[in-house]
Amino acid sequence: MNHQHRTHEPGRPGGGRARPRWWAVGLAGVTGLALTVTSGIAASAAGADGSAAATTGKHSTGIPVPCDTDKLISAIALANARGGALLDLAKDCTYLLTAELDDAGLPTITTPITLNGGKHTTIERAAAVDPFRILAVDVGGDLTLTHLTVTGGQTAGGDGGGLLVNAGGRATLKHVEVVNNVSDQNGGGVASSGTVVAEHSSISRNTAAVNGGGVHTTGQLTVGSARVDKNTASIAGGIGSAVGGGAIRIEHSFITGNRAQTIGGIQLAEVGYIADSKIADNTAGDTGGVAVFGQTTMRRVGILNNTATEFDTGGLFVAAGIPVPPAAVLEDSRVAGNTAVINGGGILNSGQVVLRRTSVAGNQAGEEGGGIFNSAVGTATLSTSKIVKNVAVTDGGGIFNAAGGTVNLNTATGTVVAKNRPNNCVNVPGCSG
């Protein structure tokens, strides 16, 4: 059977697109600090060993900061000057930021500082003031946020609407909500070229004009037991990255309901590891769920109900690359219910994809490859996997392998391709039509 195909030329992250379907894809205010706070910081700030806060038993002894924005600014500035501190913010309090300090509403973090909130503790930029982000961490800074909300940040000419972590900096978010922040560049909620750890947190309803509606990273990112949902960007609605961007590790988390022009859910530019997580209900014109441009392993992951509304790849896209093609390994996972207007309802592979004990089921393509579309430069290897009940409007309901591509079914391991429409396979050795 002879078929005519359009040429797929996915680029690298950060590049332009010839058409929308592929692309490469100081101490100011210290004197206003109350004496009780100053004496508290002196008691709990760094000692001879450089520790940031004293501890009693299992509980940290923090410095109380009243519900007063000027006092919070002063406390952070003094903590930077004295080598760090643990600051206990007030409960049922909104610290409303009205002025910019070095491109952020609060002093840049340059030492180990913890901002420990409580019930209904919020740090927010006032809506009527000029744009600025909420927080920034510079080299040597180690910021920990716990039990608070970061909201209303907005940049004009910079990354990180809510939080910016520069190279050599670190931020840890525990029980934190980063919500409704905006960047006119990258990272609507969080942008980082350092290290970010988000645990038991939510990064939601943020917007980036370019890349990474929820998070954009060129450093190290760890997401654990967290949600990245309902964010928006031009590229990578949920989590975006770039070439040279270190590693992304996601476990026990939900990347859901994000939207973009290209790549609705996650863009993995370098090394990725995703386990026990769901990437679901994300939408983009091109590549609804996940795009892999480096080396990624996924274990016990659901790529579910993602949609490409204009072009290819509902669920998972693996790009081409020279000399080493990108690769995605899926183990004990599900790719189900994804939809593409053109090709690759479940998976579109132009690099290397390996499926082990994985199900590709109930996906749909408007043209070819309802379950899997393997391009002319792609290699797909399946072991103990099931490609079932997928639909392509034109051809290759289960697997469509373009001329020059390689598909290894390994049927001896129990791989099954069945009940797909209008046929199971096109150009796949060992697969009955």
pLDDT tens, the chain, 433 aa long: 333 333 333 333 443 333 232 233 332 333 333 323 333 333 333 332 333 333 333 345 799 999 999 999 999 999 999 999 999 999 999 999 999 998 899 999 999 999 999 999 999 999 999 999 999 999 999 999 999 999 999 999 999 999 999 999 999 999 999 999 999 999 999 999 999 999 999 999 999 999 999 999 999 999 999 999 999 999 999 999 987 777 999 999 999 999 999 999 999 999 999 999 999 999 999 999 999 999 999 999 999 999 999 999 999 999 999 888 999 999 999 999 999 999 999 999 999 999 999 999 999 999 999 999 999 999 999 999 999 999 999 999 999 999 999 999 999 999 999 999 999 999 999 998 7
Residue for token pair 């046929």 = 423
3-class DSSP assignment, residue 402: coil
- Cβ contact 170:143 at 8 Å: yes
Element (H, E) at 338: none
The pairing of strands 63-65 and 112-116 is: unpaired
Q: Residue 344 pairs with which residues in a beta bridge? A: none
Q: Residue 280 pairs with which residues in a beta bridge? A: 256, 304
State the pLDDT at residue 382.
98
φ/ψ region of 376 (left if φ > 0, alpha if ψ in -120 to 50, else beta) reads: alpha
What's phi and psi for 398, nearest 5 deg? -85, -65
| End-to-end Cα separation, the chain, in angstroms | 12
**Residue 193: both structure tokens together:** 């070229």
Q: How many helices (H) and strands (E) does the chain have?
A: 2, 48
- Cβ contact 21:286 at 8 Å: yes
Distances (CA, A) of 71 to 134, 146, 384: 16, 19, 61
Residue 36, Cβ density class (10 Å: 0-12 exposed, 13-18 middle, ≥19 buried) = exposed
Distances (CA, A) of 121 to 57, 202, 264: 25, 15, 31
Peptide bond into 323 cis (omega under 30): yes
3-class DSSP assignment, residue 187: coil
- DSSP summary character for residue 413: G
In angstroms, how far is CA 242 from the centroid of its own chain? 12
Neighbours of 200 (CB within 10 A): 16
Distance CA 368, CA 402 (A): 10
- Cβ contact 201:232 at 8 Å: no
3-state helix, strand, coil in the chain (%, to 5): 5, 45, 50
State the pLDDT at residue 433.
72
State the pLDDT at residue 265.
98
Strand segments, DSSP code E, in 1-97 are 55-56, 59-60, 63-65, 85-89, 93-97
State the pLDDT at residue 60.
52
Distance CA 124, CA 201 (A): 17
Taking alpha carbons only, the member of 269, 271, 329, 327 closest to residue 299 is 329
- DSSP summary character for residue 334: E
Distance CA 190, CA 133 (A): 10
